[in-house]
Amino acid sequence: LKSNQIFDIKKIEAVITGLLPELIAFRRELHGEPEIAWEEHKTTSKIENFLKNHGLQRIAFPLKTGLVAEMVRDRNIPYLGLRAEIDALPIPDEKKVDYRSVYPGMCHACGHDIHTTVVCGVAAALQVLDVELPLNLRFLFQPAEEPIPSGAPRMIEKGVLDNLNELWAMHVDPNLPFGTLSLTEGWVNAQSIRLNWEIAGRGGHSAQPELSNNPIPVCARLIQDIQRMVTDFNGIPEDIKILAFTRIFSSDTSYNTIPDNVRMTATLRVNKEELGQQMISRVQQICAENEKKESVKIKFTFIAGAPPVVNDLHLIRRFKSNLQRTLPGHFRVVENIRSRGGDDFGWYMKSVSGVLIRFGIARDKNQPLLHTTRFDVPEEIISKAILFFIIQILNWNDA
């Protein structure tokens, strides 16, 4: 087969079908022994063994868990990356299936076992097909997608994006019916920013408030000022800016004591990094104003999560046209699916064009959601997703 040939879809499907029993067993092995962020040691060796059994030689271990494998045809042609996250979550698995987690309190509740299996399946199927690829391929098996700080920036530091032209990723989506595929241009995951305040006043007896400086009313004003600023913030109507105050603690537990200080947290979600930065500096101003006006000390800190995931529109359009031409009717394509949740795939998008696409997995209305204890994925998605990626790889062009 040559890269400019019309590929025989039936042949590709037959290869995937041939690999399927092994892929399903592999997925169930990952699912049964889920490992959380930075502890994915067994998972890493399972992936390594799978890839080596399928003839992949070029394997590197840039971090203590996770790995990178390559299929290189010619160093002068473009490199495409496919990224799968490999970590599970520290939540119990309450499913009844026989492949459920054997580790108490750990569960593959975000579908990363499926993503890993799909990327392994793409590599294995391409090895069997033995075609002349239009690209070199780099498979990134990234640890620790879930925590902040997460694995993507560490992988990038180790050079996994070097001379990479594009990077693709998938996520299963239980909010979409099975067979749906989200090919959305522009942002698809928001950035989440954790905000923390500590307001230090002066405590005292609640019978003599004039002798103290109560931080609680200051906290209340701060909440109102910040909420109003975010609501009124000038922006483009399509932009999102979602602020939620989530916790307030006072330093004292007694009902008749004015506390010395109050701590509070919030999350801010935005679809553009600049928007988040602008609002953070407004929050800093508001804190400074209130500090002066109320004679308190306000310590404001924030932790920015992964940047938003922004899909490259040319890649999305190429995906759509390849799909229409080669697999018409195979998926129901939707174009406007965006999540206010984050994905650390956003870190890669700062320096390489890429896409994160979502595969619908809901069989019915009772489909458990991501990060819940009964979450599971219909395994039929494995072959559908592998076929999708192989079609896109074989029909790759840089137009």
Q: How far is the CB of 85 from Zn ion (least distance, A)?
A: 6
Shortest distance, CB of residue 95 to Zn ion, whole angstroms?
17
Measured torsion, CA atoms of residues 68, 72, 77, 81, in degrees rounded to the nearest 10: -20
Give the end-to-end CA distance of the chain in Å, rounded to a whole number: 22
The count of residues interacting with Zn ion (CB under 5 A) is 1
Q: Please tell me the number of Cα atoms within 13 Å of 283 on its side-chain side.
A: 26
CB-wise, 110 or 199, nearer to Zn ion? Answer: 110
CA angle 100–105–109, rounded 5-degree value = 55
Q: For residue 24, give the nearest of 106, 159, 114 by alpha carbon.
A: 114
Q: How far is the CB of 41 from Zn ion (least distance, A)?
A: 20
Rounded least distance, CB 343 to Zn ion, Å: 6
Q: How far apart are CA 25 and CA 22, in angstroms?
A: 5
Selection from 355, 399, 396 nearest residue 136 by Cα: 396
CB-wise, 54 or 171, nearer to Zn ion?
A: 171
Give the binding range for Zn ion (CB under 5 A) out of 102-110, 216-224, 278-286, 310-318. Answer: 102-110
- What is the phi-psi region of residue 28: left when phi exceeds 0, alpha when psi lies from -120 to 50, beta otherwise? alpha
Q: Which is nearer to Zn ion, 93 or 260 (CB)?
A: 93
State the Cα–Cα distance between residues 165 and 160, nearest whole angstrom.
12
Judged by CB under 5 A, the stretch of 37-45, 104-112, 173-181, 289-297 that binds Zn ion is 104-112
Looking at the Cβ atoms of 23 and 110, the one nearer to Zn ion is 110
| CA 34 to chain CA centroid, nearest Å | 18
The residue behind tokens 């931080």 is: 215
Q: Which is nearer to Zn ion, 139 or 197 (CB)?
A: 139
**Does residue 37 belong to the site contacting Zn ion (CB under 5 A)?**
no
CB 69, CB 142: distance < 8 Å:
no
Task: State the nearest-atom distance from the C-beta of 145 to Zn ion, in Å.
Answer: 6
Minimum gap (Å) between residue 91 Cβ and Zn ion = 10
Residue with tokens 């932790």: 303
Q: For the CB of residue 146, give the shortest distance to Zn ion in the complex, in Å.
A: 5
The dihedral region occupied by 315, where left means phi > 0, alpha psi between -120 and 50, and beta the remainder, is alpha
**105-144: which residues touch Zn ion (CB under 5 A)?**
110
- Closest distance to Zn ion from the beta carbon of 110 (Å): 3
Nearer to Zn ion, 71 or 306 (CB): 306
Draw the binding track, 251-270, toward Zn ion (x: CB under 5 A; -: no contact).
--------------------
Q: Which is nearer to Zn ion, 117 or 136 (CB)?
A: 117
CB 163 within 8 A of CB 79: yes
**110/125 with CB nearer Zn ion:** 110
What's at 159, amino acid-wise? G
Residue nearest to Zn ion (CB): 110
Q: Where on the chain is the footprint of Zn ion (CB under 5 A)?
A: 110
